[in-house]
Amino acid sequence: MISISIFIGTCLGIITLALARQIWSRKAAKARSLSGVTGIRVFIDLIKLTQQHRGVHSGFLNGKQDFQEKLNALEKDINKHYSDLILFEKRHSYPSSLSVSYPFKQWQRIINHTSIQSAESFRFHSGLIARQLDAVWDMSDEFSLTSNQHENIRHRAEQLVKTLPELAEALGQIRALSVQVAAKNDISSDKKLQLLFTLGKIEDYQTKLTTPLPPASNQQLTQFVSEIKESVQNQHLSTQDPDLLFNNATQVIDEIYTVIYAGFESLKTTISEDKSLF
């Protein structure tokens, strides 16, 4: 009888320990995913700033010397974001093979390049942003967001770290190319094709959003694309004010990022409050 009691007690102890371990593991996974949202938000900010730097740098290299002050402020802000992300990686034992230190080295090569031309600057910045977009996806995977077992979390994360940032990146390319054209007062056939191709990509992204943009944001985006497309086709883009083009494009891009930031706040709330997750 005693041996049976000991056996039952041992079994219950093992089951209790297993349940406790499972509960602890789920709580740890939830906490890590919430931490991941915080780091990814900083990374998204970094991408936004890099896109702004590309547009301002294009204008500066095409004769807009008054853009120098904007460049200095952006470079200081971008360097701080890289420092913050590197500290974030250390705190959370992030894999060194996925570290932001690699895009950071690419960024340093761009700003230390003393004889860079406008077309090269655009290409180098765009290559860096493409790498940043891949890196933010890797971070989302590592913190169990885009790799989450729950479909709702996974799909929302995919739109926030891939579809919407790629839409913002296409708009950022339009901003940089438009500023180039306006600063030089000339639109080449290559630039025209590049602009029209990228505008087509933006329209395609709009149709692929699993969660549509808010009506006001969608209307603003549609109107901006239509206006740029018309000015490219009628050759009027080269006569426009570079500052005005930059500011108008930035307003649209900022609206996309506002949607992204709100989406991350909503995602954090879902992860925090839903007890069925993890």
Q: Is the dihedral of CA 51, 57, 62, 66 positive or negative?
A: positive
C-alpha span between 229 and 233 (Å, rounded): 6
Q: pTM for the whole thing?
A: 0.85
Which of the two residues, 6 and 148, has the higher pLDDT score? 148
Number of neighbouring beta carbons within 10 Å of residue 248: 17
- Whether the per-residue pLDDT at 43 is higher than 60: the answer is yes
Domain boundaries of the chain, sorted by first residue: 36-273
**pLDDT tens digits, 123-139:** 999 999 999 999 999 99
pLDDT digits (tens, 9 = 90+) for 78-117: 999 999 999 999 999 999 999 999 999 999 999 998 888 8
Q: What pLDDT score does 129 carry?
A: 97
Task: Note the pLDDT of residue 23.
Answer: 44
Predicted pLDDT at 272: 82
DSSP letter for each residue of 108-147 = HHHHT-TT--HHHHHHHHHHHHHHHHHHHHHHHHHTTSTT
* pLDDT computed for residue 164 by the predictor: 95
